[in-house]
Amino acid sequence: MNNTEDKIIMYDSPEAAEIQTLTGWVSKGSTPNTIRFWGKDEHMARWSGCTHVKCECGHIHEKTWTKCPHCREISQRERYNALPYKEYDGKSPVVLWDGDTYFFSEDELIDWMEDEDNEIEEVELLYCDPIKYSHIDCGYWGNDAHEDWEPPKGLQDRIGALNEYIDTLPPHSWQPGKIRTSYKKTSTTNH
């Protein structure tokens, strides 16, 4: 017993537990693991138990998306068309605007278009942005050094020289940029 002289309640005592009826929302779901008691939260019970919802346009879609496929396509098209346009130069790396297929020359792009089953005549693209090598600094070692640690001058000089060399290296990768372009097999002047 502790200092407050707490009352002892045994496991089999009627004071330990009793049956009560609870009322609340329970998600039913399409699988047993989605069944859950949500109390007063009707929204979460319905969300947990449903598989599909209605889009703002009225179409039904899977709940994992915020919009139906049709509205997603419209939204993506609007985002793409809102980007600034630059004529394709035939040399710069480009990527399909809605995919992860990269092209590093006009010949690669033409070959890809001709290899497709449906003979693509025109394709929408994004210019790529380069991904350069990151600089390093003495902070790499500073995390496990004492608080007054200062890197030696020689180390600072060599890291500075290495960073200058890193700046001269070409990109090691590419990522989709924010300038759109397009390519048409018969002409490169399509907007």
DSSP reduced 3-state for 60: strand
What pLDDT is attached to residue 189? 38
Name the CA radius of gyration of the chain, rounded.
31
**CA 6, CA 167: separation in Å to the nearest integer?**
72
Q: How far is CA 58 from CA 32, 66, 151, in A?
A: 29, 13, 63
Backbone angles phi, psi at 108, to 5 degrees: -60, -40
**CA 37, CA 114: separation in Å to the nearest integer?**
56
Please list the helix, strand and coil fractions of the chain in percent, rounded to the nearest 5, in that order.
Answer: 30, 20, 50
What pLDDT is attached to residue 89? 94
CB 59 within 8 A of CB 155: no
What pLDDT is attached to residue 102? 95
**CA 127, CA 85: separation in Å to the nearest integer?**
10
Domain ranges of the chain: 1-50, 52-82, 139-168
**CA 124, CA 77: separation in Å to the nearest integer?**
10
What pLDDT is attached to residue 191? 40
CA quadruple 136, 131, 76, 73: dihedral sign: negative
Per-residue pLDDT tens digits of the chain, which is 191 residues long: 555 578 898 899 988 898 888 899 988 876 666 688 899 999 998 888 888 999 999 999 999 999 999 999 999 999 999 999 999 999 999 999 987 899 999 999 988 888 866 577 889 999 999 999 999 988 777 778 787 888 889 989 999 999 999 999 999 999 999 999 999 876 443 44
Q: Which ranges in the chain belong to alpha helices (H)?
A: 42-49, 69-82, 106-115, 139-142, 153-168
How many CB atoms are located within 10 Å of the residue 77 CB? 13
Q: Which ranges in 50-191 belong to alpha helices (H)?
A: 69-82, 106-115, 139-142, 153-168
CB 9 within 8 A of CB 16: yes
